[in-house]
């Protein structure tokens, strides 16, 4: 009598492939960087007021970029967006401590030009 040989399914290569795919997707998702993220080194102050983030408009400025509502603008294209803002909204401005004063004054001039006077300059303690 012949003995039948059982046919089995080897899942070792399948586990290896799943592990490789998992590693690939893990690395691919962590490398992706938000292109409109702006790293800012805020100046330090000794006195701070309690600050509550609410529905304020966020404007970030460093030496080369301006980020407004998570989109990148130049100073001239930013003025087009400033015309659309409600005058009663508060604008939180994050300015890198290495930014030239002239660049800051141009930004503040643009805000005043459109009567956007409710601003908060954000610092860290």
Gap between the Cα atoms of 96 and 74, Å rounded: 16
Gap between the Cα atoms of 59 and 79, Å rounded: 13
pLDDT of residue 20: 94
Any idea which residue has 């009567």 for tokens? 115
Domain ranges for the chain:
57-122
> Are the C-beta atoms of 57 and 92 separated by less than 8 Å?
yes
The pLDDT tens digits along the chain (125 residues) read: 677 777 777 888 889 999 999 999 888 876 666 666 667 767 777 766 666 666 788 888 888 888 888 888 888 888 888 888 888 888 888 888 888 889 889 999 988 888 888 888 887 77
β pairing state of 57-61 and 119-122: unpaired
> Are the C-beta atoms of 70 and 35 separated by less than 8 Å?
no
- Taking CA atoms, 83 is separated from 22, 52, 79, 103, in Å, by 47, 25, 7, 20
pTM above 0.85, yes or no: no
Q: Domain 57-122, what architecture?
A: 2-Layer Sandwich (3.30)
Gap between the Cα atoms of 101 and 106, Å rounded: 9
């Amino acid at each position: 009598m012949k003995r039948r040989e059982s046919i089995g399914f080897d899942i070792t290569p399948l586990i290896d492939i799943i592990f490789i795919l998992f590693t690939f997707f893990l690395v691919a998702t962590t490398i992706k960087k938000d292109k409109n993220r702006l790293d800012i080194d805020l100046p330090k102050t000794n006195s701070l007021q309690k600050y509550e983030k609410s529905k304020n408009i966020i404007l970030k400025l460093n030496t080369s970029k301006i980020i407004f509502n998570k989109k990148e603008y130049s100073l001239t294209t930013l003025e087009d967006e400033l015309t659309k803002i409600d005058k009663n909204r508060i604008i939180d401005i994050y300015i890198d401590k290495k930014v030239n004063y002239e660049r800051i004054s141009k930004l503040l001039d643009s805000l005043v030009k459109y009567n956007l006077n409710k601003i908060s300059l954000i610092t860290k303690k």
